[in-house]
């Protein structure tokens, strides 16, 4: 199976993880195994990599790509948001590093029939886990105009969200919107011509928003930050790559909460809640791709890497 994906910020991630040969690491978004390969090859037989992905195609491709390291890899078909229960099942209390590469993979975008891309005509799907029933078709055809506006504005940061939501509701009254091509056509009619002449593809933000809604991506990310940050050994690193401002904001704020979890009112002279810091933020500003990477991989353009270091599980 072809699974083309150039791992973003690869060297920066490996450096940030500070991999110990006998450590336990988690790649929560395995994909085709690019990051996993670089982690696994640095481990000895005493080390372990837990490779997680909810996409069956990713597992087929990655198992082949990572074959030489299968003695030190545990493959898990699940969502990285369930990292706490995954580690519990494996009877692992704490790990030495976690890597999350958030969002849709190059392969999922390139696999036109999955419905992630606004450049390919395919059934409205966008499920990262194809065993789930809920898809983009359900969002587009069953959400109210108000709900569509909320999703597109909040998750897509789309200035024309209200107009797009209205046009979707009008179009589906004639017949259900069944394909990505049909949805793109509706969006193009909704976005004024002047706004279409420059900037990104007019459907880009709406597709992003619907994908996030279908897969519950932001809720999953928030849960993974809290649960993952709580399961790090002393000196263990949580490294997260994001691709848009919503994700980056969640990571920035999530890391800050791990570093300073106090929930006491600001007027309290001393902390009374007793919540202990889980570690410290390593990156006050995100790490960005190098000039060379930006030239070689157009999908790295909006990537940001943030790093948190744990105090150890208490």
The angle that helices 245-259 and 217-229 make with each other, rounded to 10 degrees, is: 30
Question: Of 81, 93, 83, 97, whose CA–CA distance to 239 is shortest?
Answer: 97
Q: Which residues have a Cβ under 8 Å from the Cβ of 287 and sit 6 or more positions away?
A: 9, 12, 16, 304, 305, 306, 307
Superfamily grouping for domain 10-107+217-310: Vaccinia Virus protein VP39 (3.40.50.150)
Question: Model confidence over 115-168: pLDDT tens digits?
Answer: 999 999 999 999 998 899 999 999 999 999 999 999 999 999 999 999 999 999
6-60 pLDDT, tens digit per residue, is 789 999 999 999 999 999 999 999 998 999 999 999 999 899 999 999 989 889 9
Is the overall model pTM greater than 0.85, yes or no? yes
Kindly report, residue by residue over 193-231, the tens digit of the pLDDT.
Answer: 877 777 789 999 999 999 999 999 999 999 999 999 999
Whether CATH 1.10.150.170 fits 112-215: yes
Residue 101 phi, psi (nearest 5): -110, 100
CA–CA distance, 307 with 95 (Å, rounded to integer): 15
pLDDT of residue 107: 66
Residue 111 pLDDT greater than 90, yes or no:
no
Residue-level pLDDT at 299: 81
Which of these, 227, 237, 258, 264, lies nearest to 82 by C-alpha position?
227
Residue ranges per structural domain of the chain: 10-107+217-310, 112-215
Residue 260 has pLDDT above 90, yes or no: yes
């Amino acid at each position: 199976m072809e699974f083309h994906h150039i791992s973003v910020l690869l060297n920066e991630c490996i450096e940030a993880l500070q991999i110990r040969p006998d450590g336990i690491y988690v790649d929560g978004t395995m994909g085709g195994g690019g990051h996993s390969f670089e982690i696994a090859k640095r481990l000895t037989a005493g080390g372990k990599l837990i490779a997680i992905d909810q996409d069956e195609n990713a597992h087929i491709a990655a198992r082949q790509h990572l074959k030489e390291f299968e003695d030190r890899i545990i493959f898990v078909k699940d969502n990285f948001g369930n990292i706490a229960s995954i580690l519990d099942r494996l009877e692992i209390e704490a790990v030495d590093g976690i890597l999350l590469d958030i969002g849709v993979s190059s392969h999922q975008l390139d696999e036109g029939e999955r419905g992630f891309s606004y450049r390919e005509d395919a059934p409205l799907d966008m499920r990262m886990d194809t065993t789930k029933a809920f898809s983009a078709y359900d969002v587009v055809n069953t959400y109210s105009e108000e709900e569509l506006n909320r999703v597109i504005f909040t998750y897509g940061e789309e200035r024309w969200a209200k107009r797009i939501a209205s046009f979707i509701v009008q179009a589906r009254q004639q017949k259900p919107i069944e394909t990505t091509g049909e949805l793109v056509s509706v969006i193009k009619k909704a976005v004024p011509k002047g706004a279409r002449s420059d900037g990104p593809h007019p459907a880009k933000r709406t597709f992003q928003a619907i994908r996030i809604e279908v897969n519950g991506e932001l809720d999953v990310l928030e849960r993974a930050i809290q649960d993952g940050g709580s399961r790090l050994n002393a000196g263990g690193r949580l490294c997260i790559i994001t691709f848009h401002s919503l994700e980056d904001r969640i990571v920035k704020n999530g890391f800050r909460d791990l570093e300073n979890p106090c929930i006491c009112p600001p007027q309290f002279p001393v902390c009374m809640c007793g919540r202990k810091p889980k570690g410290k933020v390593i990156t006050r500003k995100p790490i960005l791709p190098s000039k060379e990477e930006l030239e070689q991989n157009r999908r790295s353009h909006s990537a940001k890497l943030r790093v948190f270091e744990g105090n150890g599980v208490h």
